[in-house]
Amino acid sequence: MKVIRLHASGDMRLHDEPVPTPGEGEALLRVTAIGVCGSDLHWFKESGIGDARLTHPLVLGHEFAAVIQDGERKGQRVAVDPAIPCEVCEFCKEGNPNFCTALRFAGHSDTDGALREVMTWPRRCLHTLPDSMSDDDGVMLEPLGVALHAIDLAHLRPGLTVGVYGCGPIGLLVVQLARASGATRIIATDKLPHRVEAARSCGAAVTFQSQGGTETPEIWAATDQRGVDVAFEVAGENDAVETAIETAKPGGKVILVGIPSVDRTEFTASTARRKGLTIKLSRRMKLTYPRAIRLVERGIVDVRSLVTAQYPLDQFKEAFSAADRREGHKIVIHP
């Protein structure tokens, strides 16, 4: 079978490897679609992400859909949760599997991901896709789950004003979820004009092209000098973090979702302190797949329009180059 492995920064290679044998509790999967995520680009460009570094040729890919090839569910189309928690540690038992002390995650550290034709994965992580949802829709359930977790952390209520700073696929999903949660005004920013336009299509009432924080006075003006109730930073850049801190109202919330290239987040402490802000950092997601499927199936969230390009597996270099240039929104690879 064909497998794509990352050997070093910018060095991804096509391999021919044996089909794996499922272990206890695992299913054999034929991978049908894989999304290229911003965190995949961190691995591709930097040989790591945060404090995790490349230690062996790694198969990337954690946003994926597949067809089960064995067992009672043979032939079922599924979306795959990339996280494998231990289910027995303190955090798992508390209902926080995203903090699991023994968590394995597809395409991260020592756990190979989905950029291959066939793989094995725990059956407990497989979520059946309704007939109304495509394989590409299944790919988008992972970023939707990340957005859902960020919304959960914010405890959004109807009538709030929300800022979304960074409108890649996850940011655009945050915009949609904030609208569905009853936010009456959503303000969105991004550096790229096509993402700003997409934010308007997704429900943002006010949008600005970000330019190193110079849009902050305009955001204040758009909120009648009140500030936003909740600011979501989804860019992975300190400029966006600073904008979130600067534009959140006194007593407001800031949810940090983005992952910075340099493993450090900075903002003006005096501003955050004097406002008494609540700052939360979002760690992936937890228990979101069933909710995400219902939201897409019922048309409350549109994921399909966010997939803007598809590539076959052997064009992985072109796919990653396009993603690195921030072309379109979500790029999907089809084995």
CATH class name, domain 145-281? alpha beta
Fold adopted by 2-128+303-334: Quinone Oxidoreductase; Chain A, domain 1 (3.90.180)
pTM comes to 0.97
Distance CA(239)–CA(266), nearest Å, equals 9
The Cβ of residue 95 has, within 10 Å, a number of other Cβ atoms equal to: 10
Give bridge partners of residue 13 from the DSSP assignment.
Answer: 5
Q: Render pLDDT for 101-114 as a digit per residue (tens, 0 to 9).
A: 999 999 999 999 99
Strands 228-233 and 206-209, bridge-based pairing: unpaired
List the chain domain ranges: 2-128+303-334, 145-281
Percentage of the chain exceeding pLDDT 90:
97
Q: Render pLDDT for 296-331 as a digit per residue (tens, 0 to 9).
A: 999 999 999 999 999 999 999 999 999 999 999 999
Average pLDDT, stretch 168-193? 98
Phi, psi dihedral angles at 302 (to 5 degrees): -100, 110
Q: What letter represents residue 285's amino acid?
A: M
Closest CA to 83 of 68, 98, 96: 98
Q: Render pLDDT for 29-72 as a digit per residue (tens, 0 to 9).
A: 999 999 999 999 999 999 999 899 999 999 999 999 999 999 99
227 pLDDT higher than 90: yes
The set of residues, in sequence order, having a beta carbon less than 8 Å from that of 292 and lying 6+ positions away, is 141, 144, 145, 148, 301
> How confident is the model at residue 261, as a pLDDT?
84
Average pLDDT, stretch 195-215? 95
Confidence of residue 262 (pLDDT cuts 50, 70, 90): confident
